[in-house]
Every structure is written in C-alpha cells, then in structure tokens.
Amino acid sequence: MTDSTKKHKRRIRYSGTHPRKFSEKYKELDPEKYPDEVEKVKQRGQTPAGMHLPVCAGEICDILRLKPGMSGIDCTLGYGGHSIKMLQRITPGGILIGIDVDSAELTRTDNRIRTLGYDESVFITRQMNFSQINDCLNIKPGGFDFILADLGVSSMQLDTPDRGFSYKNYAPLDLRLNNSEGATAAQLLSQIEEDSLTNLMVENADEPYAELLGRTIRSRSEECRTTTGLASVITDSLQSEGLTQKECKQSIQRVFQALRIEVNKEFEALDQLLHSIPDCLKSCGRVAILSFHSGEDRRVKKSFKALAEQGIYSECVRRPIRPSFQEQYDNPRSSSAKLRWAVKR
C-alpha cells in the first residue's frame, strides 16, 4: 500500500469535553507533538499524563554547586527531569550516571535524553537499585562530585493504570517498581499476619487506623487482589466507623504507600544508600536527597546528623528546604517534598 492510499487512522474518541482515561490522553502522552496542550495541563496545576515534573530542580542544582567538568550520579533517574537540568550545568566535560530499578521507564528516559545530544561519553544509564550505588565506582573509581536521590514515586508509575500504583484505576494490586522481581502487594496481603500488617502501616505511613484496617484487610484479603478492591475494603471499614470520604481517601493513600514501601524494601534500600554515599563521594563532594514522607525524611536526617558527628560530613542542612509556594501551586505533587543536603569532608 502506497502512502497515498494508506487508510486514515482516526484519533481516539472519548465521551465529554476532556479525556479521562489514561489511554485517551493522546496529546499529553505525546509532548513533543503537542507542546501547547501539555503547557495547558501544567497551567491548570496538573501533571501531564506519562510525565513527571522534577521537584526543586533549581534548588538542587544550586545546592550541588554544579559546573562544567563535574561528575555525578542521579540515583533515581525516572523521567529524567533532574538529570537533564544537571547535564546542562556540567557540560562540557562532565559525566552523569543515571540509575533506576524500573526497566521500562529507564529505557524510555534513556532514549529521550539521547535525542537531546547526550551520548555515552556524557550520560550513562544502569538498571539497578540505588542500594548498589557502590557499583558506580567501577565506572569512575576516584568517586563523584555530587549525588542526587529523589525518593518520590514518579508520576508515570502512579498514572499508568496497569502498573497498579493508584487506587483510582482498576488493576492487579502489584506496586513493584521492578515488576520482574519479588512478590506483589496482593501476594503479600494473602500471606502476612494481622499484627505484621498493622505494624507496617504504622511504620511505613503513620496510619492512625492501622489496627482496624489490619484486621479488616486480613479478613477480606481475597477482595484485595486489585487496586480498587483494596480501596473498597478500606472505605467500607472506615465509613462504618463514621469517617468522611476525605478521611477514607487519605487512609487509602497511606495504605498504598505502606504496601509499596514493604513490597520494594524501600527503607532497607535507603539505609544502604545512606551508608554507601560517603564512599562514592570525593572530598568536598555534595549529596542532595529529596524525600516525600516522614519515614524517609527521618532516616535521611538521622544519617546526615550521625555522619556529621563522626566527622565524615563537614556540613549538613539543619532544616529541610521546601518547594516554593509557586512550585506547590504549579505542581501539587511537590507539596510534601523535603530536600536535605550534606558535604563530605
């Protein structure tokens, strides 16, 4: 079939004036082709489908004191927003290693950044957990000038329905960052004891109704094999106690967070990262870590303080840096972010 005889492919149709399903948002999912539409979404204070807006990008680049010729690691490459900003500052002459445990997003981001002109001599990617950051010393044995870790789950993972990260869309309850390894959240709920489930909701998300939810979820675990199934069980349990829809939504978000952290062993990985960072930094090298909930921030704060007292860090921030009011308005998902930094002696 020649070009002139190819059948025209109609665009995706949807009901109403705006697309609601992820697959229908074809303009947002193709930002290079529809930049004006993507900008409109941002102006409404929303994150375009399939995209992640980097949080505190300017503050991070300033804190790390980036300049041409420097070398560093982006421990959580994600959509590549932070990496692109850093590459702009450290070139020419610099080198950045981007690592991510999510193979699907890593491949897409690698391709995206390559199209901007950054080849393997400048930008290197590796699929790995950031707990293995010491392996990056095989690429640059002398250590790095800076390290960044953005601990938030990316918008692509949250928004893509079949990843099972959001209670808003029906999908198998998975929650794995690397969906080729480990047990899913549904499998965890089918096996975990009630006391252990209660404890992980408290430890991982400060859930105030953990005891009630631990008992209910365990007794109805067969209904919790999907995202919407788990959300319904939580809502039923809390509404029977007189909680409002808003309070139920907040608990659903906390429970999903607690399960995601457990499934991916995120706290264990973060503890290992914090332990390994000084070995990967040059003298006077800088680290910046962006966290999004109290469990992460407590660990970062405690580690930085302890290593400063041991003389390993010469300086660390006392109070976390928060996104500006304007950034929180433009990107509501940034509102809970806390940025901490430290400098190796």
Which tokens hold the place of 38? 């993507």
Q: At the topology level of CATH, where does 179-263 sit?
A: DNA polymerase; domain 1 (1.10.150)
Is residue 116 within 8 A of residue 84, CB to CB? The reply is: yes
pLDDT digits (tens, 9 = 90+) for 48-107: 555 568 999 999 999 999 999 999 999 999 989 999 999 999 999 999 999 999 888 899
Query: Domain locations in the chain?
Result: 3-43, 57-155+266-344, 179-263
Q: What's the distance, CA 59 to chain centroid? A: 18
Superfamily in which the 57-155+266-344 domain is placed by CATH: Vaccinia Virus protein VP39 (3.40.50.150)
For residue 332, what pLDDT is reported?
87
CA 232 to chain centre: 25
Amino acid at 188: L
Q: Which range, 152-166, 170-184, 185-199, has the best average confidence (pLDDT)? A: 185-199
Q: What is the mean pLDDT of residues 100-122?
A: 93
Contact 22, 169 (CB under 8 A): yes
- Arithmetic mean of pLDDT, 118-126: 97
Residue 27 has pLDDT above 70, yes or no: no
Q: Is the pLDDT of residue 208 over 60?
A: yes
Read out DSSP for 111-148? HHHHTTT--TTTEEEEE--GGGGGGGGGT-TT-EEEEE
Q: How far is CA 168 from the centre of its chain?
A: 18
At residue 41, the pLDDT reads: 64
Residue 18: C-alpha distances to residues 27, 39, 113, 155, 161 (Å): 11, 15, 30, 20, 18
Q: What is the mean pLDDT of residues 171-186?
A: 90
Residue type, 277: I
Q: Which of 9-13, 113-117, 292-296 has the lowest mean pLDDT?
A: 9-13
Average pLDDT over residues 314-333: 93
* pLDDT tens by residue, 126-151: 999 999 999 999 999 999 999 999 99
Q: Taking residues 211-240, what's their average pLDDT?
A: 97
**What is the distance, to the nearest Å, from the Cα of residue 238 to the centroid of all Cα atoms in its chain?**
28
